[in-house]
Structure 1
Amino acid sequence: MAKKNISRRKFLVRGGLGTAGVLAVGTYLFRNPLRRKILEQVDSGEARYLGGGMEPMLWFEITKVNKVILHSPKVEMGQGTFTGLAQMAADELEVGMNQISVVHAASMSGNMDKFATGGSNSISGLWQPLRELAATMREMLKLEAGKKSGFPVDEMTVANGEVNLGRTTMTYAEIAENVTDWEVPDAPGLKSLDAYKFVGKPIPRVDLNAKVFGEPIFGLDAQMPDMLYGAVVRPTKIGAKYVSANTSKADAMPGVVKVILEDDFVGVIADSFTAAERAKEAIEVTWEVSQSWQTSDIREMTKVGKGDAFVLQKEGEDLSTEDGLIQMEFTSPLGAHAQLEPNGVVAAVDGDSVTLKLSTQVVALTRKEVAKRLNIDEENVNVIPTFLGGGFGRRLHTPHAVQAAVMSKAVGKPVKYFFSRKEEFQHDLFRPPTHHQLKAKLTDDGHIAYLQHDFSSGDVAIDAAMVPGFLHTVLGTDVGAIRGGFCHYGAIPNLRTVSWHVELPFATSWWRSLGLLANTFAWESFMDELAVRAGKNPVAFRLAHIQDDEKGKRLKAVIQAAADKAGYQDQAVNGRAMGFAASTDAGTPCAQVAQVSIESNEIIVHKVTCAMDPGIAVNPDQVRAQCEGAITMGMSATLYEKMDVVDGELTPTIYGPYRMALMKHAPKEIDVVLLQGMDKPGAVGEPPLGPIGAAIANAVFRLTGNRLTDLPLTLV
């Protein structure tokens, strides 16, 4: 494709800082008030698309049978992104939903996201650029039709992938045939929302058939001709350092092709997965372990006051030393991602070229790390993403791709390497444990005069593959741990929120919603306690402490909608009680009511009512499904999930002992109410995970009179 009209191709370059710009500017701003402003903007979730390749022909492929293939820079990990993107593109391209399909863009296609798929911004981040790209592609096709037919462009109409030329029509396929030099016009105006046929409608998922019929579309399914299998020796102890290895037994085992000793890993390549695993177990590795950690050690390290403190919010006076303070503490444990599909990759190294097929949320980062390890140009590494059998942040770092590439280079053949379930649990990048201290003072008439929340967490975003550790020094805290940490009750005259960052002896990182679940559990459980102490209805109590600005009005609306839809009542009836909680994450407010009972000393969640304002719901069914999934995942973390550290080992390492919510535990009903408080799509995938923990705990309080303060919730 000839590079013409370069200046016109800048039509998608946006003004403003965006998330990356905010972080870059932060390197020059060390004063805390400015830091707080930066962190507040990052926490708002207003992330813009940071990818390159902003030429329509890199995104859209016209096939000979007049179909359109959209090459998506965002990966599909079950959240329904492909369907929403297809709806947005189809409306501006003037094609039917049966005429458009979506595939993952390989890194060599030129259409690659420089950031990742995560942060609940796939739809919202592409809302503007994708529609403009589609509209521009439509106009490019019209211009080309004019060149081929001589018909005036301004008299053309377009529908169902065909351009009407008066007495005749031309399909997009006919127009695109043999075109190598496209004219790119100025960005056209977009349609009004009421002119869209697909956006805002519950369109069936475009990836439904492949998943229902079990097509080989996931990373674990990936194959390459003449493929071998790899395995990597991993320690079981936290902090273990490799000293030496005796590979003589493994070298002589049937099926083993080669054993490699690298500075940072020991790998086995064999003719089957079983042979590779057996040889791996036969390698005698000497590890150096400095300390045998226990869960109690980790909990002690995570306590408020043990790390680096940063004041996120500071309003009015500090009344923490006054008499009459109400004080409570809350904790949450280590949590695993526990996604169904373990991490895996197929890598093929051919000279200075590499091809990788894998489930990843970070195509660009994977490409960069493989190129660096093999000392080749990034352009020579082609990362082909697959569907993800669960992501939740686990696939935001994929060092196994580097290991597979190294093994492939060593044997000159493609190598498939994937984690065993034990490895997936033991070498996860865990959700860090947290500790919270809250204190407040009420006025005589039952309003909050003073509120402070100190919360401590290990790394969430900082020191992960995408966010270098030096940003902790720049910003003063972890941009992931603070999710949900900001108090959204703005009508409190004296307020403090303080983030404490601690370093743990093992890797912790991104987990769906980052710090939102734990922070909201503490905030909203404490707000419920304050409402009880004040003698107020918990819904009315919350509404009384929210400002009437734009954010406040949207939050009030979802709180009222959830309470009304659920018929919220503050007393237990017939052995069931309701608990209320609300949060705002990435700019999306959400409120939930959980209806709970206790049977045989077990907490049973019967129904959850969720009200959320994500702005424009591109696909309402998709948004509701995200709410249902997030609520169920949050419920699982609230009632069951935790990892322990025993004698220096992370445990458990298999489903079953690692308890999770099963189908029988899921609420019989999840009722979702969607509001539209802004004229663009907002975050969807993570915000509904915020309130559920506190909503369940608050319901349990109404049944038992006991305030449960530790996750997972356990009845004494």
Structure 2
Amino acid sequence: MADKKNGSKKVSRRKFLIKGGLGAIGVVAIGAYIFRNPIRRQILGVVNSLEAPYTDNTDQPMVWFEVNSDNTIVLHSPKMEMGQGTFTGIAQMAAEELMVGIEQIHVIHAASATGNVDSFATGGSTSISGLWQPLRELAAMLRVMLLNEAARKMNIIVEELTIDKGIISGAGDKMTYAQVAEGVVDWEIPDVPVLKDAKDYKYIGKPISRVDLDAKVYGDPIFGMDAEMQGMLYGAVVRPTKIGATFVSADIKEAEGMPGVVKIVVENDFVGVIANSIIEAEHAKEAIKVVWESYEDLSTADIIGMMTVGNGNSMVIQKNGQSLVEDDDFETLEFRSPIGAHAQIEPNGVVAYVEGDKATVKISTQVVSITRKEVAKRLDIDVENVNIIPTYLGGGFGRRLHTPHAVQAALMSKAVGKPVKYFFSRKEEFQHDMFRPPTHHVIKGKLNAKGFLEALEHDFVSGDVATDSALIPNALTNFLGADVGAIRGGFIQYTAVPNFKAVHWHVTLPFATSWWRSLGLLANTFAMESFMDEMAIKAKKNAVDFRLAQIGDDAIDVRLKNVIQAAAEKANYTEDIIDGRAMGFAASIDANTPCAQVAEVSVVGNEIIVHKVTVAMDPGLAVNPDQIRAQCEGCVNMGMSAVLYEKMEVENGELTPTIYGPYQMALMKNAPKEIDVVLLQGKDTPGAVGEPPLGPIGAAIANAVRRLTGERLTELPLKISKNNLS
């Protein structure tokens, strides 16, 4: 039987809470400006644990859904699919409230022309959690709209109608959703109806197969590199190799006369070649003589010098009790992480067509709204006249949170009056990435007479992560005193320690840095959880027991304790070395999702081999458990690659290496033979999934190595300098 309306007002309680919450942050922000650091710390604490709601279109079902004549339903997703399984999860949520089969939901990326535009981004592990409430409400509203129209067409009261897989029945009559929707132009949008109770779920909580699997297995043209437009030409952009280089001038005479060249576009910030083929465009690009103005040649040593605690602007992001003083008996360790590249398999690229005052752009992007605005501004046309058509992403990880190449392609298209397609070369992708910034950490701790921490302090320095990017303006860092991305994982989660403090130091680097999957979490957790392990060894305590005894009693603390215990139990955690293998333990909280991991490791020669990783995570309600397990497996492998192999260098003012191979990454042979995932549910709604499992893996591996060799590795990527095995 269909649900009846609950008589809710046009502004639902959920929307009221969102508006009220944002308003409250605004009030607190005023206080932060007046009272500075104490209130700033409160705001940063809220931001650090915030589960961001979806705040765009949530009351127009027909913007989100289309009913097809074959009784399938198209869902226009404002969130991008980049391998994380979002399309499958949202299909499950939509099918649940629409009362259709999962096979009847076809999920596609919402072009900006549909009006379903996410003004934030696909990032921050918010796709499923953010859409959990609004998408189900929209689907339920559409169901009620179809029921009301069916009742009118069938001349039956709504209460006598039932639904099964998109077929409405009553009084011996039947109509499909498609038949009900046929010919209807004006729909009356109802209030939000009562949503399904969890006990009645058919799809949510079930391991549904990926809805995008067939397209990827059969090689359908779904990625940005596959995008085409009729009659398109090909572009190439001249890019500098030196850090900080700015365009001064260009000599294009030789290139203009080369085979296949249609036009060369010289703007105030780039030079673009348009040709009949990719090869011709690339050859002509090499013939252009560009004058660049750049910094003096920098080296990795210069960058390390900049990225040292004490440099830049500091902000105490967390504080309780008294600070350690220099004459106290405390332990100190320092940790470093390097520059990291995104190194996604698909380089950035775009196809753009500008016709008069209208532009169409096909692109792999995580930021449809920002890309649309940037193109409109540069072309000096209305935003509504720019249609961004997103494609599947061949890897995102934050790399596609900034896509200004859409502007370059649009300008080239405008210059020739035809569509233009161009993609980064692999060298350009490496040299012009939005890198994970290097970090430096100084951690101090003091044990009491019982062998537990009496004081704990974490000072860490990072470049820009979330701020000074297209997504979040630098003014927010200036206002809050800290980069809200760099501090992820930098907060001290052992709040039962009587005295603790965390200080973020912000340094602006001479090259572009931004979001890299999990933001600051990977480096910050590596440092803090390695230090915690060292203190447990000094206290002669089991690493798990040492952690559990120093966690508070808030709701998130209880969830953290639960995942720590679950991981230890599932892995049969021991600190004994058995058959040449040792276990390392680590845990973290990211975006309100706690995660703990146990890595089983051996050392052969100087090579670190990861045999098995046990993951326990509490993401709240699991919309698709298989999808979450896959995310955990992906994070473990990606994190393992970062902590064992990946590193960018700076040589003679250039970022290097510029190809796979020299930029070493984990291969299939390096992957753990087993990744065991345990999911807990510590709350009734979905939480963040895509990034939290990246947190513990670095420290878990390093802590295992410490038990095997006696060596505390403090720098990523992990390299053994000595081998104490007999």
TM-score range with shorter-chain normalisation? over 0.9
How far residue 168 of structure 1 moved from its aligned partner, in angstroms, is: 1.1
Pairing 1:380-395 to 2, within 5 Å after superposition = 380-395=385-400
Show the counterpart of 1:161.
166
Given candidates 556, 560, 568, the residue that maps to 1:563 is 568
How far residue 12 of structure 1 moved from its aligned partner, in angstroms, is: 6.0
Given candidates 15, 40, 50, the residue that maps to 1:13 is 15
**TM-score, structure 2 normalization:** 0.97
Task: For 1:46 and 1:640, locate their aligned partners in 2 and report how far apart those are by CA, in whole Å.
Answer: 32
Pairing 1:421-436 to 2, within 5 Å after superposition = 421-436=426-441
One-letter amino acid of the counterpart of residue 484, structure 1: G
Task: For 1:273 and 1:482, locate their aligned partners in 2 and report how far apart those are by CA, in whole Å.
Answer: 42
Q: 1:251 to 1:429 in 2, by over 3 A?
A: same
One-letter amino acid of the counterpart of residue 40, structure 2: R
8 Å Cα contact 1:22/1:38 also seen in 2: no
Matched, 1:545 2:550: yes
8 Å Cα contact 2:606/2:719 also seen in 1: no
8 Å Cα contact 2:8/2:191 also seen in 1: no
8 Å Cα contact 1:19/1:42 also seen in 2: no
Task: For 2:349 and 2:708, locate their aligned partners in 1 and report how far apart those are by CA, in whole Å.
Answer: 45
Matched, 1:105 2:118: no
Pairing 1:376-415 to 2, within 5 Å after superposition = 376-415=381-420
Given candidates 132, 139, 145, the residue that maps to 1:134 is 139
Show the counterpart of 1:674.
679
Matched, 1:520 2:525: yes
Show the counterpart of 1:253.
258
8 Å Cα contact 1:199/1:618 also seen in 2: yes
How far residue 36 of structure 1 moved from its aligned partner, in angstroms, is: 1.2
Task: For 1:141 and 1:70, locate their aligned partners in 2 and report how far apart those are by CA, in whole Å.
Answer: 16
Task: For 1:58 and 1:367, locate their aligned partners in 2 and report how far apart those are by CA, in whole Å.
Answer: 18
Task: For 2:142 and 2:410, locate their aligned partners in 1 and report how far apart those are by CA, in whole Å.
Answer: 37
Show the counterpart of 1:625.
630
Task: For 2:500 and 2:551, locate their aligned partners in 1 and report how far apart those are by CA, in whole Å.
Answer: 13
Pairing 1:490-639 to 2, within 5 Å after superposition = 490-639=495-644
Given candidates 456, 474, 478, the residue that maps to 1:473 is 478
Find the residue that maps to 2:317 and give its secondary structure.
strand
How far residue 58 of structure 1 moved from its aligned partner, in angstroms, is: 0.7
How far residue 18 of structure 1 moved from its aligned partner, in angstroms, is: 8.4
8 Å Cα contact 2:58/2:134 also seen in 1: no
Deviations 1:139-167 (CA, angstroms, capped at 9, x unpaired): 00000011111100112111110111121
Task: For 1:695 and 1:542, locate their aligned partners in 2 and report how far apart those are by CA, in whole Å.
Answer: 13
Deviations 1:476-498 (CA, angstroms, capped at 9, x unpaired): 11000000011111101101100
Matched, 1:266 2:268: no
One-letter amino acid of the counterpart of residue 469, structure 1: N
Find the residue that maps to 2:17 and give its secondary structure.
coil
Q: 1:210 to 1:647 in 2, by over 3 A?
A: same
Find the residue that maps to 1:194 and give its secondary structure.
helix
Deviations 1:60-108 (CA, angstroms, capped at 9, x unpaired): 1100010111110100000000000000000100000111110000001
8 Å Cα contact 1:294/1:646 also seen in 2: yes
Show the counterpart of 1:202.
207
8 Å Cα contact 2:644/2:719 also seen in 1: yes
How far residue 302 of structure 1 moved from its aligned partner, in angstroms, is: 0.6
One-letter amino acid of the counterpart of residue 702, structure 1: R
Deviations 1:530-558 (CA, angstroms, capped at 9, x unpaired): 10011100000000001122111100000
Q: State the percentage of identical aligned residues.
A: 66
Find the residue that maps to 2:231 and give its secondary structure.
coil
8 Å Cα contact 1:11/1:187 also seen in 2: no
How far residue 462 of structure 1 moved from its aligned partner, in angstroms, is: 1.1
Given candidates 483, 492, 498, the residue that maps to 1:487 is 492
8 Å Cα contact 2:111/2:387 also seen in 1: yes
Task: For 2:416 and 2:582, locate their aligned partners in 1 and report how far apart those are by CA, in whole Å.
Answer: 62
Task: For 1:637 and 1:466, locate their aligned partners in 2 and report how far apart those are by CA, in whole Å.
Answer: 24
One-letter amino acid of the counterpart of residue 39, structure 2: L
Task: For 2:223 and 2:295, locate their aligned partners in 1 and report how far apart those are by CA, in whole Å.
Answer: 39
Task: For 1:259 and 1:218, locate their aligned partners in 2 and report how far apart those are by CA, in whole Å.
Answer: 27
Task: For 2:364 and 2:200, locate their aligned partners in 1 and report how far apart those are by CA, in whole Å.
Answer: 37
8 Å Cα contact 2:567/2:598 also seen in 1: yes
How far residue 290 of structure 1 moved from its aligned partner, in angstroms, is: 2.9
Task: For 2:24 and 2:517, locate their aligned partners in 1 and report how far apart those are by CA, in whole Å.
Answer: 22
Show the counterpart of 1:461.
466
Pairing 1:30-179 to 2, within 5 Å after superposition = 30=33, 31-52=36-57, 54-179=59-184
Show the counterpart of 2:310.
305
Task: For 1:80 and 1:45, locate their aligned partners in 2 and report how far apart those are by CA, in whole Å.
Answer: 22
Q: 1:220 to 1:621 in 2, by over 3 A?
A: same
One-letter amino acid of the counterpart of residue 381, structure 1: V
How far residue 20 of structure 1 moved from its aligned partner, in angstroms, is: 6.4
Find the residue that maps to 1:8 and give its secondary structure.
coil
Q: 1:664 to 1:25 in 2, by over 3 A?
A: farther
Show the counterpart of 1:319.
324
Show the counterpart of 1:341.
346
8 Å Cα contact 1:11/1:186 also seen in 2: no
Matched, 1:440 2:429: no
One-letter amino acid of the counterpart of residue 613, structure 1: D
Task: For 1:147 and 1:11, locate their aligned partners in 2 and report how far apart those are by CA, in whole Å.
Answer: 30
8 Å Cα contact 1:8/1:184 also seen in 2: no
8 Å Cα contact 2:72/2:105 also seen in 1: yes
Q: 1:17 to 1:534 in 2, by over 3 A?
A: farther
Residue-pair matches, total: 712
Show the counterpart of 1:644.
649
How far residue 13 of structure 1 moved from its aligned partner, in angstroms, is: 2.4
How far residue 322 of structure 1 moved from its aligned partner, in angstroms, is: 3.5
One-letter amino acid of the counterpart of residue 98, structure 1: E
Deviations 1:454-486 (CA, angstroms, capped at 9, x unpaired): 000000011000111111111111000000011
* CA root-mean-square deviation: 1.4
Find the residue that maps to 2:10 and give its secondary structure.
helix
**TM-score, structure 1 normalization:** 0.98
8 Å Cα contact 1:9/1:54 also seen in 2: no
How far residue 53 of structure 1 moved from its aligned partner, in angstroms, is: 5.9
Show the counterpart of 2:336.
331
Task: For 1:591 and 1:166, locate their aligned partners in 2 and report how far apart those are by CA, in whole Å.
Answer: 55
Task: For 2:250 and 2:27, locate their aligned partners in 1 and report how far apart those are by CA, in whole Å.
Answer: 47
Task: For 1:22 and 1:247, locate their aligned partners in 2 and report how far apart those are by CA, in whole Å.
Answer: 56
Q: 1:138 to 1:9 in 2, by over 3 A?
A: farther
8 Å Cα contact 2:18/2:53 also seen in 1: no
Task: For 1:365 and 1:545, locate their aligned partners in 2 and report how far apart those are by CA, in whole Å.
Answer: 43
8 Å Cα contact 1:18/1:48 also seen in 2: no
Task: For 2:333 and 2:667, locate their aligned partners in 1 and report how far apart those are by CA, in whole Å.
Answer: 31
8 Å Cα contact 2:64/2:75 also seen in 1: yes
Task: For 1:203 and 1:609, locate their aligned partners in 2 and report how far apart those are by CA, in whole Å.
Answer: 23
How far residue 42 of structure 1 moved from its aligned partner, in angstroms, is: 1.1
How far residue 22 of structure 1 moved from its aligned partner, in angstroms, is: 7.2
Q: Which moved more, 1:139-148 or 1:317-326?
A: 317-326
8 Å Cα contact 1:9/1:55 also seen in 2: no
Q: 1:47 to 1:135 in 2, by over 3 A?
A: same
Task: For 1:124 and 1:138, locate their aligned partners in 2 and report how far apart those are by CA, in whole Å.
Answer: 22
Q: Which moved more, 1:327-336 or 1:548-557?
A: 548-557
One-letter amino acid of the counterpart of residue 193, structure 2: P
Given candidates 407, 411, 424, the residue that maps to 1:419 is 424
One-letter amino acid of the counterpart of residue 13, structure 1: K
How far residue 15 of structure 1 moved from its aligned partner, in angstroms, is: 1.4
- Which 5+ residue runs of structure 1 have no aligned equivalent? none
Q: 1:478 to 1:377 in 2, by over 3 A?
A: same
